[in-house]
Structures are given as C-alpha cells and as structure tokens.
Amino acid sequence: MAALLEIDGIYTTYDKADVLHGISLAVEAGTITCLLGSNGAGKTTLVRSILGLTPARAGRIIFNGIDITRLATHKIIAAGIACIPEGRKVFPKFTAEENLRVGAYQDASETIIRGRIAEIFRIFPRLAERRGQLAGTMSGGEQAMVSIGRGLMCAPKLLLIDEPSLGLSPRLVQENFNIIRQINDRGISILLVEQNVRQTLAISTRGYVLAKGRVVAAGTAAELRGQQQVREAYFG
Amino acid sequence: MIVELLAQYVMNGLMLGMMYALVAVGFTLFFGVLDVIQFSHGDVLTVGAFTALAAFVGLHTLGLGSRWLDLVVIVLAATLAMALLGMVIARYFIMPLRAAPALNTLLITLMLGTVLREAVRLFYPEGANPKPFPALLPRDAVALGAFNLRLDNVLMLAAGAGVIVGLQFVLSRTRLGLAIRAVAQDEETARTMGINFTAIVLITFAIGSAMAAFAGVMNGLYYNEINFGIGLYLGVVGFSAAIIGGLGSVYGAILGGFLFAGLQTVGAVLLPFASAYKDVFAFAVVIAIMAWRPTGLIREKISERV
C-alpha cells in the first residue's frame, strides 16, 4: 500500500544554498510519524516544502496519489493537508471563533463549519468560554488550543504539527501530546516535528531523524529509542 | 444668516470628507494586504473620473441617455474599469517587486501615477484643460429656514455612506472579508489556511480602486468640472487621512478623511483670508498629529506574541 505522504529525494533552497539535501520519507495513513532533529536541521524547511511555501527545487512530494511538489499552497490545503505552525501563529486580531472559521476557509457550508466549531469546543471547553476574545490577548496555552483547533477545522487527512511544545510549560506540553494522540485516534494522520525526543517517540509509530538537511536515522519508534544516531543528531 | 453659512460649510465639509474617506480606505486596504503604499492611487481616481466622462460623451454621441441611465452607466464604467486597472497595477507592477526593497515599490507607483496623469492630459481630447462634468443629479432643494439643502448633495452623501457601510459589511461579515483580514495580519499563515493569496490581493486592489473611481465621479458631480490634477490632490489628502487614522485601519481611514475635511472647513471659517490658507492649516495640523501620535489615531490594541 502506498503511503499517504511520500517524499522522494527533495532538495530545497534558501538564499541559493540547499537546506535540504535529498530527503526521502513516508507517512503511512493513520499513523503518527515524527521528525526529530536539532535546531537548523531542516525540519521547518521540510514542512514549508510540503506546504508549498518554499517549494522544493528537485525531487517529488506525493500526497494521496497527487504530485503536490509545485502546487500553490491553497491547492495543497485543498488536497487535504493542514498545518499547526511553529509558534502557533494565531491571528491576533481575530477572535478565537474567527480563528477557527478561517481554518475552514475552503469549506463554504455554514452547517459544516458550525458542526466543526462545536466539536472543537467539546475538545477545548475553554475556547467555548472565550470564543469572542481576541486571540492576541490570550495566554500561550490558550493560543495553542486555538492553533490546534484551527488546524482541525478543515478536517484534514494529514496534519503537520511543527514544534507544538515550544514555549509551553511542562504540564501543557504533556496535555498537548495527549491531544495529538486523540487527534490521531480520530483517524487523522500526523507528521509531528519535535525536539522533545522522549515524549514524541512515546506516541509515534515511526520516526525520522534529520541533521544538516539529511535523514540520518529512520525506523519505528522503538528502534529509534535505542539508537546512537538519535542522540548524535542532537549532541554530535 | 450665520446659521445658513455654517450649514453650508458643514455640508461642504461632509462632501469633502466622504471623498477623502473613500480614497483613504483604498490606501489602508492596500497597505493591509501587501504592506505597500500605492502612490498612483490618486491618479487611478483621475482616470476613473475621465472614464465616467468618456462614458457620458459616448452615450450621448450614440443618442442614448437619460439622467438615470447616464448615472448608472458612468458609475459602472468608472468603477469596473478602475477595478480592472487596480488589479493590473497590483499584478504587474507591485507584486513582482515583493522581494525588492520597499523603496522600489514606492518609486514605481509614483512613476506609474505620473504616467496615468500625463496620459490623461495628453491623450484625452483637450485633456490639459478643465473639462465640464455633467450635473446628472436632481438639483431640487429643500429650504430649511435660510439654508437650502440640496438634493444632489444628500444623494451623494447617502451613496458614499452606502459604499462605506457595504465595505464594512464585506470585511466584517463575509468569507471574503475574513480572508482579506487574515492576509492583512499574516500572509503566510493565511496561505497555510488555504487562502489564495494572489486572488485576495487582486480583489482587494479591485475594491479599493473602484472606491477611488467612485470618489472621482462624486468629485465630478459635485464640482461639475474635472481636470487631470484632481487625483494628485485627492491622493495626497487621502494618503494623509489614512496615515493620521492609522495606516491599516479602515475605521481610522474614514475618521481621518472626515477629520481632514473638518480641519479644512475650520480653517476656511476661522482663518483670515477665508479659504486661501485652509490647506496650509489642515496639513499643519496633520503634521502636529503625526508628531503627537506617530502610529495614527486608531492605535493597535494588540501587540503580537511570539
């Protein structure tokens, strides 16, 4: 069976220098696949390449049977990918509810949008209380909820989550991982980008380790837990 | 006598304020989605007014035309043509320069404005001279004491208010408005939400430029004369209005437009030599406001968190 997302030898360039050097990886449908690596390893660039924000200059990205390598970002989203970006990136001048609405921008049906908002409010009751509050005035934890909820609003097949624990307290980090697992239980495949190795591998099926724009280790979560390269990718 | 004169000033101030606000909103919308100042915006207004005039002449050459048909046709011709021109400017002159320094965009829009203005002057028949603009609105007046409230002014104010309310409705209540506001806050995240960035920028330029054309037609109907320089002046005033209101804020732009007209009116009433120094006065106050509140009157309530 072909994987939901298949990345085949992509090279991506920033300022005329390659940041990704022939990266290949796959996300199987229904799984959580993680992408580990230290700062500057190319994790966020890989996410940006998948989303078409910084398109790959060579190689192919196949999603759900479609070649999305050079598609415009809005078409990639239409194909069924959503993203919870690094740093949450809520729209500060939108209310919590408007942030959720913009997440479902490509679904025009008001009934569907309302149903999904109600569902997000069941997962995060706190957002229901604060639906009218401007996201820019919310706490970091609340913004994380808005960002996660917004990512779910378009009912994606694949969710890219970029460094969700960045800047959150240990308690919230744990909560976040629980929520990611819940999202996966709903049948949404996840590509999780993280630096937090232990907790990430605990919920992942498979993982890849990136260093200097290359995949230096790959395997099941159990295999990666014991591997030397994983540690080296961070400390070496 | 005094009341009559005062009422006259207020009416004139409201008319000017409406035109300024319509122009200022364009500046603020464009700045919102692309972070650029479109310095040819005023000249788009001029081209819009001349498009309206050409449409009127065309109708009458064909022997068609009645007052209301004329009005509908000239407004549609001007707004649709300028919506298109605005999109062309955004697509082919501003968007390609996104990676370049902001100064380049400033230069190219300034030069484009000169090209539009000179094109009107050189290519419109006798474009160098002021052209009479038809008075298409009914000129009946209602006498309120000593003050004559003219129907054409009331209609223009109502139409302008309708345009502004319509814009507010689109921005705050529709899916398109949500997308425009999302792009204005964070282009990249907006794209990640599945918003077609280029399409939203073009639509925003179409809306803003159509509003400038509307202001241009209003200007013609109000003064019954247009010339190739009206946009230069209205552009500078509209830009100042957008700045004092707080660039990026639609409410601020509207407030700024009426405030500027108010200052001119106050200047005309209170200063000696009547209206000769009203612009000097108004712009001096604008400079003072900028010194007092460099980010404009409508302040950003939210500082972005990382």
Q: How far is B169 from chain A (nearest CA, A)?
A: 15
A-B CB pairs within 8 A amount to: 73
CA distance A228 to chain B (A): 34
Identify whether A229 is part of a domain.
yes
| Residue B176 · residue A96 · CB < 8 Å | no
Query: B207 near B83, Cβ under 8 Å?
Result: yes
* 8 Å CB contact of A94 and B182: yes
Task: Pick A85's closest partner by Cβ from B192, B195, B305.
Answer: B192
Closest among A30, A31, A12, A29 to A20, alpha carbons compared: A12
Contact list, A74 vs chain B (CB under 8 Å): 191, 194-197
Average pLDDT over residues A10-16: 89
Residues A200 and A227 in one domain: yes
Give percent of chain A with pLDDT exceeding 90. 74
Chain A CB contacts of B197 under 8 Å are 73-74
Residue B274 neighbours by CB distance under 10 Å: 11
Which chain A residue has the Cα nearest residue B182? A91
Mean pLDDT for each consecutive 10-residue tract of chain B (306 residues)? 82 95 97 93 97 94 83 96 98 94 92 96 93 91 81 94 96 95 95 96 98 98 95 96 90 95 89 76 89 78 40
Q: Are residues A25 and A115 in the same domain?
A: no
Q: Report the 10 Å Cβ neighbour count for A108.
A: 9
Asked whether the predicted pLDDT for residue A31 surpasses 50, the reply is yes
Query: A20 and A119, same structural domain?
Result: no
**Nearest Cα residue in chain A from B306:** A87
pLDDT tops 70 at residue A235: no
pLDDT of the residue at B302: 46
Q: Are residues A1 and A76 in the same domain?
A: yes
Instruction: Please check whether residue B153 is in contact with residue B245, taking contact to mean a CB–CB distance below 8 angstroms.
Output: no
Final residue in a domain of this structure, among A155, A172, A190: A155
User: Sign of the CA dihedral B175, B178, B184, B185?
Assistant: negative
Closest CB to A91 among B175, B186, B196: B186
Interface of A with B in 21-60 (CB under 8 A): 51, 53
Is residue A104 located within the same domain as residue A63? no
Q: Does A157 touch chain B (CB under 8 A)?
A: no
Q: Do A154 and B186 touch (CB under 8 A)?
A: no
Nearest CA in chain A to B183: A91
Instruction: Give the span between the Cα atoms of B73 and B96, in whole angstroms.
Output: 34
B192 chain-A contacts, CB cut-off 8 A = 51, 53, 73, 77, 83, 85, 89
Query: Six-digit token pair at B162?
Result: 């309708």
A72, A89, A101 ranked by CB distance to B189: nearest: A89
Q: Distance (Å, rounded) from C-alpha B24 to C-alpha B28?
A: 6
- Mind telling me how many Å the CA of B32 is from chain A's nearest CA? 13
Shared domain check, A149 and A163: no
Q: Do B12 and B154 touch, CB atoms closer than 8 A?
A: no
CA distance A179 to B115: 58
Q: What amino acid is encoded at B239 in this protein?
A: F
Q: Is A92 on the interface with B (CB under 8 A)?
A: yes
What pLDDT is attached to residue B293?
85
Contact assessment for residue A147 and residue A88, using Cβ atoms and an 8 Å cutoff? yes
Which residues of chain A make contact with B99, given a CB cutoff of 8 A? Answer: none
- Residue B306 near chain A (CB below 8 Å): yes
Q: Comparing A21-35, A60-74, A131-145, B285-299, which segment has the lowest mean pLDDT?
A: B285-299
Closest CA of chain A from B237, distance in Å? 28
**Does the pLDDT at position A182 exceed 70?**
yes
H or E element in which residue A123 lies:
helix A110-123
Give the pLDDT of residue B11.
92
CA distance B243 to chain A (A): 20
Q: How far apart are CA B302 and CA B290, in angstroms?
A: 20
What is the per-residue pLDDT across B210-262, written as a single tens digit (0 to 9) for each?
Answer: 999 999 999 999 999 999 999 999 999 999 999 999 888 899 999 999 999 99
Q: Does B63 reach chain A within 8 Å, measured CB to CB?
A: no
A-chain residues near B183 (CB < 8 A): none
Q: Which CA distances in Å does A216 have to A126, A140, A162, B72? A: 41, 33, 19, 68
Instruction: Give the CATH number of the domain where residue A69 resides.
Output: 3.40.50.300
Asked if residue B67 lies in contact with residue B136, where contact means CB atoms within 8 angstroms, the answer is yes
Cross-strand bridge partners of residue A192? A34, A161
A59 lies in the same domain as A163? yes
Task: List the domain boundaries for chain B.
Answer: 2-292
CA distance A78 to B106: 35
Domain that holds residue A124: 90-155
- pLDDT for residue A1 is more than 70: no
Does A34 lie in the same domain as A2? yes
Write the residue in A92, A102, A108 that is nearest to B304 by C-beta.
A92
Q: Return the pLDDT at A16.
A: 81
Q: How far apart are CA A162 and CA A113, in angstroms?
A: 24
Please give the tally of structural domains in chain A: 2
- Comparing alpha-carbon positions, the chain B residue that sits nearest to A109 is B175
What is residue B295's predicted lDDT score, i.e. its pLDDT?
A: 81
Query: DSSP secondary-structure letter at B221?
Result: H
* Residue B37 main-chain phi, psi, to 5 deg: -100, 125
For domain B2-292, give the CATH number. 1.10.3470
Whether A220 and A196 map to the same domain: the answer is: yes
- Indicate yes or no: CB of B190 within 8 angstroms of CB of A108: no
Residue A168 lies in a domain: yes
> Cα(B277)–Cα(A124) distance, rounded to whole angstroms?
60
**Residues A137 and A26 reside in one and the same domain:** no
Residues A118 and A229 in one domain: no
pLDDT of the residue at A209: 92
Encoded amino acid at B76, one letter? L
The answer to whether A102 faces chain B, any CB pair under 8 Å, is: yes
Q: Are residues A10 and A49 in the same domain?
A: yes
